[in-house]
Amino acid sequence: MRGRAGLAVLAAGLLVTAIAGCGSGSDDGGSGSGAGGGKVSVVVWHGWTDTEGKEFNALVKEYNAQHPDVNVTTLYLNNDYALQKVLTAVSGGTPPDVAYLYGSWAPSVAKIPLVVDLTEAVKAPGVDWADFPKGESDVATVNGKVIGMPALVDNLAIVYNKKMFAAAGVPTPTPTWTWTDFENAARAMTNPSQKQFGWTIPADGSEDTVWHWEAMLWEAGGQLLSPDNKQAAFNSPQGVQALTTLRDMAVTDKSVFLDTSNDKSENLFNAGKVGMIITGPWDLSSFPKVDYGVQIMPAYEGSSGGHQTIAGPDNWVVFNNGDARAKAATDFVLWLTAKEQVKAFSLATGDLPTRESLATDAPFVASMDKALPGVGLFINNLANVQQARPQVTTYPKISEILGNAIVSVMLNKSDPQSALTSAATQVNQVLATGS
């Protein structure tokens, strides 16, 4: 399972209080020559490695060649610690010009005084802000202010073992699958004597646990918070329905392996001990020996929520080191996130395209799917990303409360309604006090 979701929200919670101490930045006018030999210098902090790092560096080299008056340099930084490093640098008066930051940090990032407001920049001709799906643009926007450009997007879907489905005599998932179909298939593939399960889910109470359930909540037609983000809304019939599904599979059917350490699911899937795993495109290359298929999330019968999924988009954030550097950094980020660069990066790395025009480009999707079977479904699944997690600085605490509630139900220590009612009381207190 993807560990970055949990690390991101935990780090955000720890860093919210540090933002108030950030400095106000440089007044040098932004010549920023430094080692750039009179050119405007743009320093980018990023966490790309391997193929992604190679392609990113190639794009930077291409930009520098096309813009002789600018010198873009890069510094690798582990993404999990990027916000902490940025806050330290801002406080010391030495922030980067651009940083790759997790989307779950956006409400905290928006409070940093040196963050450049891109609201007007994204309206410029050629930017085509509307080409970024709602799940991405919403995460890059806090209180009406655009604080970053989409850097990465992903989503959740069913990855299933075709061999295990065939052995159980169960039809493989279809685009019209319901959660009832999902439960029935998981039950049919479960064999306790062989320690074989129909499904696996992260059950460590982290954000990885929570965002799986959040997608189910939306599919049931529910919401996490009230429209004004001031009250819990998940303790609804829809929330109970989603959590009851997990309770039934974990407690009644025992058809789901509860990965309480969040580090066994991929190995079990590779070993043919788990029939289904709900995960993202990042995991596909980890299953070279499994004859797998990929299908969109199930839906709840009779619900208007449909086959929704959840995305984990991240942002390129620009910081103000003077007018010239801020302008050069903004221009670089707009170029980097333009359609041609997004296309080149996706084709080279297998990462999902952040632009809708590419996600609906059939030849492009086909070429992506040929290089990494199944990724085409994840690209098409971007159309099912209709919502984003609430843009509130207290989300890390909310996630912690929900994670504990969800796990308590799956471990049969609480019933869905009681767990969500208790969680809602705690969340309302957090929303009222800000901590």
The predicted-structure confidence for 239-296, as pLDDT tens digits, reads as follows 999 999 999 999 999 999 999 998 999 999 999 999 999 999 999 999 988 999 999 9
Nearest to 395 by CA among 4, 1, 3, 16: 16
DSSP state of 394: T
pTM metric for this prediction: 0.90
Confidence (pLDDT) at 376: 97
CA distance 136 to 312: 8
Residue 38: band (very low, low, confident or very high) from pLDDT cuts 50, 70, 90:
confident
At 232, give phi and psi (nearest 5°).
-65, 140
376 and 90 Cβ atoms separated by less than 8 Å: no
349 and 54 Cβ atoms separated by less than 8 Å: no
Confidence (pLDDT) at 10: 45
pLDDT at 11 over 80: no
Between 14-23, 43-52, 321-330, the lowest mean confidence (pLDDT) is in 14-23
Give the whole-number percent of the chain exceeding pLDDT 90.
88
In the chain, CATH 3.40.190.10 sits at 4-154+312-384, 157-310+394-433
Strands 149-152 and 98-102: unpaired
pLDDT at 56 over 50: yes
Task: Categorise residue 173: left if φ over 0, alpha if ψ from -120 to 50, beta otherwise.
Answer: beta
Looking at domain 4-154+312-384, its CATH class is alpha beta
CA distance 413 to 258: 14
CA distance 324 to 312: 32
Confidence (pLDDT) at 30: 40
Q: Where do we find the tokens 């289904």? A: 276
CA distance 359 to 382: 8
Residue 435: band (very low, low, confident or very high) from pLDDT cuts 50, 70, 90:
confident
The yes or no reply on domain 157-310+394-433 and CATH 3.40.190.10 is: yes
Rounded to an integer, the average pLDDT of 310-331 is: 96
Averaged pLDDT of the chain: 92
Confidence (pLDDT) at 21: 54
45 and 86 Cβ atoms separated by less than 8 Å: yes
Burial letters 101-112, b for 16+ CB under 10 A, else e:
bbbbbbbbbbeb
**Tens digits of per-residue pLDDT, 135-153?**
899 999 999 999 999 999 9
Confidence (pLDDT) at 289: 87
Confidence (pLDDT) at 22: 57
Confidence (pLDDT) at 16: 46
HSE (CB half, 13 Å, CA atoms) of 372?
Answer: 23
